[in-house]
Amino acid sequence: MPYSDYRTALVTGASTGMGAATVERLAANGIVVHAVARDAARLEALAERTGAVPHAVDLSDTDRLEEELSGIEVDVLVNNAGVSAPGNILDASRGTVDAMVDVNLRAVLHLTRIFLPGMAERDLGHIVNVSSIAGLYNFFGHTAYHATKAAVHQISRQIRNDTVGKRIRVTEIAPGRVETEIFGRNLGGSPEAMKEAWETYYEGYESLTTADIVAAIDFAIAAPRHVNVGLLEIMPTFQVPGGLTFDRRNA
């Protein structure tokens, strides 16, 4: 069980949902976890529960990221944070496109840049990138989200090439619909929006839970040290990708 190989971890998007649950699982396995998110109050509560080291940082602020996190030795990096927005590129705003590129893609690259050299030098490390089935399949809407998650898929494969010959493992977790706050935040983040999102996207559906995703991350980390679990695509049994649209346009 390679948990004993690792001493430290860093998890982004750690204040809620899959990130918070991942921090709890890693801490329960004896890992010192650095928890990164914007919500300082939630991070403090998480730190009290788990002993995690909180870092209230906006992932889109690269200067602040480097100032706060450079010098930390990280054995397991979990790039979990992600943002989305309704609509497609036809009606996307500059702000929503920039936010998705900044958090979903740029932060992943910079955090990897910051921590991977130390892993390579120590000949030990594991990067877990939480992408999405949106990075593997096309469906309507969320154009920038699809693009950034597809990039995370390619980054995950490329890191393995960049570190060949080193004991560096890279795992991509590509979930389908998970019961998180993301849809509620897309609708504005108010209690009413959260209720509307639950009723629209989760009520009556057998969606994935945060526990399902954490179990997948746990499986990949706990695999024997000679085993790299490269890609885990996880969807609810009743959710499938696919379908082909051929639109008829009459003269």
Residue 98 CA, distance from chain mean position = 17
- Active-site residue flag, 145: yes
Residue in the structure block whose two tokens are 């509620």 = 184
Which segments in the chain show pLDDT lower than 70?
A: 1, 251
Decide if 142 contacts 84 (C-beta within 8 A): yes
pLDDT at 246: 80
Residue in the structure block whose two tokens are 């209230």 = 56
The whole-angstrom separation of Cα 98 and Cα 227 is 36
- Euclidean distance between the first and final Cα of the chain, in Å? 64
Q: Which CATH architecture has domain 2-234?
A: 3-Layer(aba) Sandwich (3.40)
Q: Helix 143-162 to helix 107-122 angle, to the nearest 10 degrees?
A: 10
The whole-angstrom separation of Cα 52 and Cα 3 is 17
What sign does the dihedral 30-232-153-183 (CA atoms) show?
Answer: negative
Decide if 168 contacts 2 (C-beta within 8 A): no
pLDDT at 166: 98
The whole-angstrom separation of Cα 84 and Cα 182 is 7
The whole-angstrom separation of Cα 48 and Cα 124 is 29
Decide if 221 contacts 31 (C-beta within 8 A): no
The whole-angstrom separation of Cα 54 and Cα 29 is 18
pLDDT tens for 198-228 read 787 788 889 999 999 999 999 999 999 999 9
Catalytic residue among 3, 145, 201, 205: 145
Decide if 170 contacts 229 (C-beta within 8 A): no
On whether the pTM is more than 0.75, the answer is: yes
**Domain extent listing, the chain:** 2-234
